[in-house]
Amino acid sequence: MNQVTFPPVSAGEESPVWSGSGFERGGQTTRVLAYEVGDSGWSDELTELHESATESGTHFIDMASRRHAVNELKRALGSQPASIMEVGCSAGHLLADMRLALPNARLTGGDYTLGTLVKLGAKMPDIPLVRFNLADSPLPSNTYDAMVLLNVLEHIEDDVAAVQHIARMLKPDGVAVIEVPAGPELFDDYDRELKHFRRYTLPGLCKVIENAGLRIERRNYLGALIYPAFYLAKKRSQNSPKPAAEREEHVAKAIGATSRLNPIGHAVMALEEMMSRAIEFPRGIRCVVTARKIA
């Protein structure tokens, strides 16, 4: 049984209760607990675009990203029972990985789009799923032992407020594992189509996290060994921007093209993972940071 207490969705309601397969709310059961989120421009269709283009989570970068997150959670939390929230759970690939690697964890999935969560709820009936806006989070303080955000903050206009809510929702000594796209100078059609507000520098990301009251434990880049090829591809994209009407197809083809490199990509990322235990890379395609809430 998940021990998180969720606030009422509407004024005058009692707090919803997770039953193990749904939320009991006002005498009815709902699979997804949906709070108001406003409009960010992100949609279920954009989630589908990325999922279909990356072959349902098997892209070598996405798999390396999830592996890094799981390893950081295992290092930071050990084998103790822990309450973990993934913000931006999308199709649930990381939730599935965490369920296997962290069998004592109580998992919760959160996302901005309702359709994505409804579809995921049918595949994972035993995990609470919550629709909410991280930058204006209604969820209670001091609730989670860990929160994971993989490629989420770049989609949030007020990322400072979002990270402040992360710090608020973490328990004292709780851990945040955060990943974002790196390289502000590489912003291109891909970023525009996927509604990115920004790409980050590693020091810039760390500053936002530290200003929220979290202490940086580890920081590095992901995709360092493939960064030269990535850099050239991004610069070519910047030099040949596509009209808005052609952008979606162009981005889908670009993501799909890199998926065809999976066999080589997996080997390169395995080598990089070993190197990252001793090296902080100077560049990469994504920034990865693990931070802890000061007890």
Q: Is residue 31 part of a domain?
A: no
Q: Is residue 203 part of a domain?
A: yes
Q: Is residue 22 part of a domain?
A: no
Alpha carbon 174 to its chain centroid, in Å, reads 17
Q: Is residue 266 part of a domain?
A: yes
CATH code for the domain of 101: 3.40.50.150
The strand pairing partners of 60, in sequence order, are none
Residue 118's nearest CA partner among 9, 22, 258 is 22
Task: Please report, to the nearest 10 degrees, the dihedral formed by the alpha carbons of residues 274, 278, 284, 285 taken in order.
Answer: 50
Total number of domains constituting the chain: 1
Q: Is residue 11 part of a domain?
A: no
Going residue by residue through the chain (295 aa), what tens digit of pLDDT does each one get?
446 889 999 888 899 999 999 999 988 999 999 999 977 656 666 666 656 545 467 889 999 999 999 999 999 999 889 999 999 999 999 999 999 999 999 999 999 999 999 999 999 999 999 999 999 999 999 999 999 999 999 999 999 999 999 999 999 999 999 999 999 999 999 999 889 999 999 999 999 999 999 999 999 999 999 999 999 999 999 998 888 778 877 777 776 667 677 889 999 999 999 999 999 999 999 999 999 999 8
In sequence order, the 6+-apart residues with CB closer than 8 A to the CB of 211 are 160, 163
Q: Is residue 83 part of a domain?
A: yes
Residue 148, domain extent: 40-293
Q: Is residue 93 part of a domain?
A: yes
Distance in angstroms (rounded) separating the CA atoms of residues 266 and 259: 11
Q: Is residue 23 part of a domain?
A: no
